[in-house]
Amino acid sequence: MSGTRLPAAEFESEEIALASAPPGPDGGPGMVQFLDPDGHLFEHAEYGSFSSGTGAERLKALYRDMYLIRRFDQEATALQRQGQLALWVPLTGQEAAQIGSGRALQAQDYVFPTYREHGVALTRGVRLSEMLRLFRGITNGGWDPRETNFHLYTLVLAAQALHAVGYAMGLQRDQAADPTLAPAASVAYFGDGASSEGDVHEAMVFAASFNAPVVFFCQNNHWAISVPSSVQTRVPLAQRAEGYGFPGIRVDGNDVVAVEAVTNWALEHARSGKGPVLIEAFTYRMSAHTTADDPTKYRLSREEEDWHPRDPLARLEKHLRTTGKAGDAFFEELVGEAKAMAVELRRDVQAMQPPGLEERFNTVYAEPHPLVQEELQAWRDYEAGFIGEEETS
């Protein structure tokens, strides 16, 4: 494998993972973890005080979110297989990263997701069936971001990182004009693949230069479709923050308790005027990139098996059961709730009607546009020409 080695001896470090190395589940000693894969909960000296609590009700609520969004993911995958959706982007494995960070947000914060953040959407109160409209091909959006402060999905990777920084620059100005406003931050979600995009670099430069209240939340799920994270970076992604001059934290992205605490810390840091933070949630895409992908072409099932014991739901279930915080009744009730949700989702999706092309003409510009109006009229006339033919045929 020497062919993949770069002549960069001066960078020799144990942390450097070369492109040939398969992604392992060990996040290293610097990774923040509260709940280990066996379900043991530990005190954390640095971030422990930022956790919203580890009592039974709090942890059950987090588990419920993760369980429901995994069930949602399974149902959406099934709907795609049955031809009801054109494509689906599964999140399985990343529930803790998304629910933990999402539950740390406050109403006034604003989220810029990429396209896999169904779990964050759930925490923002986006109606889950609306998430499927994009994948059914009836809109490129699907929900009104003004209602939930959860922006539309962005498919051009990393473009939204800059939008989040600009939005944060706006928050800064609003706050200066009206100090009674509740302090707020924006959050940019992206992945290990998108971290290579220039827009992430520019976003971090702008955020640092203007001390913008933004949290960069990178879900390192270890695979950018078929390319492992070792091709994107030689150092833990969280370390990149140091180069921009703001804090970077690697957190166990499969530990919902740690993710929530670390995100609380980061949001508070940003909201209080201390500037941006990068969080790297160390997680794993347990499923395919999309329903059009085939992971057996590029990764070993052994690797998937190595990550399996770190499943974010399994470890919290272990903890809840062994500590007596939840028992069979709780988990059985959840199965029923998830099933009802899936039935409703299926019904909603099947009821979704495609829009007419005419509606698309009307969404291009806010103000009247002569070319659009002319083409719309020509198209109407063209369509009208078929009406008689249909009747006689």
Contacts to another protein by CB under 8 A: 112, 139-141, 144-146, 151-152, 154, 156, 159, 161-171, 173-174, 176-177, 186, 198-199, 202-203, 205-206, 209, 359-360, 362-367, 369-372
- Asked whether 20 and 4 are in contact (CB, 8 A), the reply is yes
Q: What is the token pair recorded at 7?
A: 């002549």
Give whichever of 17 and 204 is closer to another protein, judged by the CB atom. Answer: 204
CA distance 288 to 258: 25
CA distance 207 to 144: 26
Least distance in Å: CB of 275 to another protein?
Answer: 15
Give whichever of 47 and 112 is closer to another protein, judged by the CB atom. Answer: 112
Give whichever of 80 and 139 is closer to another protein, judged by the CB atom. Answer: 139
Choose among 202, 199, 163, 164: nearest CA to 185: 164
Least distance in Å: CB of 128 to another protein?
Answer: 18
Residue whose token pair is 């479709």: 225
Give whichever of 21 and 378 is closer to another protein, judged by the CB atom. Answer: 378
Least distance in Å: CB of 121 to another protein?
Answer: 15
Least distance in Å: CB of 392 to another protein?
Answer: 31
CA distance 237 to 278: 9
- Asked whether 289 and 296 are in contact (CB, 8 A), the reply is no
Give whichever of 137 and 327 is closer to another protein, judged by the CB atom. Answer: 137
Least distance in Å: CB of 176 to another protein?
Answer: 7
Q: What is the token pair recorded at 252?
A: 């166990």
Give whichever of 365 and 386 is closer to another protein, judged by the CB atom. Answer: 365
Choose among 147, 83, 86: nearest CA to 121: 147
Least distance in Å: CB of 200 to another protein?
Answer: 11
CA distance 195 to 227: 13
